[in-house]
Amino acid sequence: MSVAPLLRKIFLVDLIKGLSVTFRSQHPNELITEQYPLERPWIAERYRGQPRMAVNPDTGESLCNGCGACALACPEKLITVTSDRDPVTKKKYMTSYTYDVSRCMFCGLCQESCPTDCIELSQDYEMALYSREGMTLDRVRLEKGPEPTEYAR
């Protein structure tokens, strides 16, 4: 054995190096654990989560004009839109809207196809349920939007 490795061994250089690495990693800035329910992770702007429908903030009316483009665009056929024609103004309007999230793959084609930017996939991700029953969202749920649960100790 040559001299340098022997000296390293005798003075425990490698062990001390290892100890210094673990000692430095104790610094609180190095923490990567998230206290999930208490503090929420940062979500990217383009994240596609639970769908919601926008309403006109001034009048409270739905932005949806009942065109059904989203239902056509949906590859899984999850969206059903029924519409009617107003006898006075001769304009089409939406009468009911259902969105089945249980099989949704969050591709975002519905929000791409919407001409009035009504349907969109929000950044909410807490969508787990015990059964498929509550997974079909109607117009009321969609317009209310996601309601993230507040957690406290």
Partner 1 sequence: MRPFLDYLHSNVTPGEYGSYLWAVIYILIIFAVASVAVMLMTWLERKILAHMQVRLGPMRVGPHGLLQPIADALKLLTKEDILPDEADKMVFWFAPVWVMMIAFLNYVVLPFGRTHAVTDMNIGILFVLGVSSLSVLGVIMAGWSSNSHYPLMGALRSSAQMVSYEVAMGLAIVSAVLMTSLNSTGTGTLSMIGIVEAQKAAGRWYIFSMFPLGLIAFLIFAIAMIAETNRAPFDLPEAESELVAGFHTEYSGFRWSLFFLAEYAAMIGISSVAVTLWLGGYLRPFPNLLSGHSWDLAFSLFPGLVFTGMALMCLIGAARMPKIPQMKVQTIGLWLFGAVIALIAAVLFLPGVRERVQDIFWFAAKVAVFMYLYIWYRGTFPRYRFDQLMNLGWKVLLPISLAVLILTALVGIRQDLSTVLMGVLR
> Based on the number of CB atoms within 10 Å of its own CB, is 65 exposed (0-12), middle (13-18) or buried (19 or more)?
middle
Q: Which residues are CB-neighbours of 85 under 8 A, at least 6 positions away?
A: 91, 92, 93
Tell me the two tokens of residue 22.
């673990």
**Closest distance of CB 136 from partner 1, Å:** 35
Q: Which is nearer to partner 1, 18 or 115 (CB)?
A: 18
**Closest distance of CB 127 from partner 1, Å:** 25
Q: Which is nearer to partner 1, 27 or 46 (CB)?
A: 27
**Closest distance of CB 37 from partner 1, Å:** 10
Q: Which is nearer to partner 1, 4 or 32 (CB)?
A: 32
C-alpha torsion 83→61→43→29, nearest 10: -170
Q: Which is nearer to partner 1, 133 or 150 (CB)?
A: 150
Query: Residue 82's beta-bridge partner residues?
Result: 96
* Residue 153 interacts with partner 1 (CB under 8 A): yes or no: yes
Contact (CB, 8 A) for 72 and 81: no
First to last CA, the chain: 60
**Closest distance of CB 85 from partner 1, Å:** 53
Q: In which element (H, E) is residue 100 found?
A: strand 92-100
**Residues 15-34 interacting with partner 1 (rule: CB under 8 A):** 15, 18-19, 21-23, 25-26, 28, 30-33
- Binding footprint of partner 1 on the chain (CB under 8 A): 15, 18-19, 21-23, 25-26, 28, 30-33, 35, 152-153
